[in-house]
């Protein structure tokens, strides 16, 4: 059984955008066209004290209260009272997925909007960094060495700012767009792929360079590298390439018995990608994960 976390609170914000809405689109798809062996479960939302272990109290307070508004809206969303419960639930799902993967081998959450958030502000549609928060909570539960695998179209500079320097946290980041680019250190790799023909070979090479001594992988499974994505897409990266990417990722970790917790990450509706096709792309991750469960 593959447990995936989702709550209607994931889409509680009044701000209407892919990041604040698509969890419900994917959940609806899973109810109408179930994937055998997949169960949706509601997570526990994060408490304010849990979030402030990773983000500054001033920033967390701003998201909760709208004071100051500029800080509350630093990720790019208009503030409303639904923003705090939405982000507490969605980031809570990332944590629950990590803890469940440690027990079951694989789990996921329909969360997105995580990897650009920094300690004291949001950025790029990301309010709180559920990847870093989940890593922190997993370590409390006994995980020592953790890999954060980021295959969103954009660089995960927020995550790097929060975990750089920790020798037990490794970041493997393959992007196709330079937004939020950073200078990787000894525990991180960042590849900016400019040609679709190099995308899967780069992933294969980076995976082969890893050792398997991880207690957990937290996987930011972005679909915005897709050539039709309105933000971040790279010409030539097709559905078939992304399906193979998911098989590579989950197959690598299954073979080495490394637990994997995934979240959805980017993917944006536009003239060349409608809602139905975007949901189909995100289902590729769930289908590949189900083969691992």
d(CA 2, CA 240): 23
pLDDT digits 0-9 by tens, 53-107: 999 999 999 999 999 999 999 999 999 999 999 999 999 999 999 999 999 999 9
User: What total of structural domains would you count in the chain?
Assistant: 1
**Beta carbons of 292 and 248 less than 8 angstroms apart:** no
Q: Find the mean pLDDT for residues 257-266.
A: 97
The pLDDT > 70 percentage for the chain reads 100
Lowest mean pLDDT among 119-133, 138-152, 204-218: 204-218
The residue among 134, 129, 96 whose CA lies nearest residue 112 is: 129
The residue among 281, 275, 206, 274 whose CA lies nearest residue 238 is: 281
* Residues spanned by the domain of 29: 2-292
Q: Residue 162 belongs to a domain with what CATH number?
A: 3.40.800.20
d(CA 151, CA 220): 6
Res 126 pLDDT > 90: yes
pLDDT computed for residue 293 by the predictor: 80
Q: What is the mean pLDDT of the chain?
A: 97
């Amino acid at each position: 059984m593959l447990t995936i976390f989702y709550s209607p609170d994931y889409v509680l914000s009044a701000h209407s955008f892919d990041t604040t809405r698509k969890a419900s689109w994917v959940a609806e798809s899973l109810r109408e066209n179930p994937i055998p062996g997949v169960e949706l479960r509601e997570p526990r939302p994060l408490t304010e004290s849990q979030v402030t272990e990773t983000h500054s109290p001033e920033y967390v307070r701003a998201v909760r209260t709208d004071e100051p508004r500029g800080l509350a809206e630093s990720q790019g969303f208009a503030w409303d009272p639904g923003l705090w419960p939405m982000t507490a639930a969605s980031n809570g799902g990332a944590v629950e997925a990590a803890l469940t993967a440690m027990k079951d081998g694989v789990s996921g959450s329909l969360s997105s909007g995580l990897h650009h958030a920094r300690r004291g502000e949001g950025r790029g549609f990301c309010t709180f960094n559920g990847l870093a928060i989940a890593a922190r909570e997993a370590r409390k539960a006994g995980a020592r060495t953790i890999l954060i695998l980021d295959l969103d179209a954009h660089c995960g500079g927020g995550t790097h700012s929060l975990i750089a320097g920790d020798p037990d946290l490794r970041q493997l980041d393959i992007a196709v767009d330079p937004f939020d680019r950073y200078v990787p250190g000894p525990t991180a790799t960042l590849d900016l792929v400019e040609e679709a023909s190099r995308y899967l070979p780069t992933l294969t090479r980076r995976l082969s360079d890893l050792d398997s001594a991880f207690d957990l992988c937290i996987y930011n499974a972005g679909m915005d590298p897709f050539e039709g994505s309105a933000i971040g897409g790279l010409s030539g990266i097709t559905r078939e390439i992304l399906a193979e990417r998911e098989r590579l990722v989950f197959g690598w970790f299954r073979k080495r018995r490394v637990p994997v917790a995934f979240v959805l990450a980017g993917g944006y509706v536009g003239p060349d990608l409608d809602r139905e096709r975007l949901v189909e792309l995100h289902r590729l991750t769930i289908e590949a994960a189900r083969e691992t469960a």
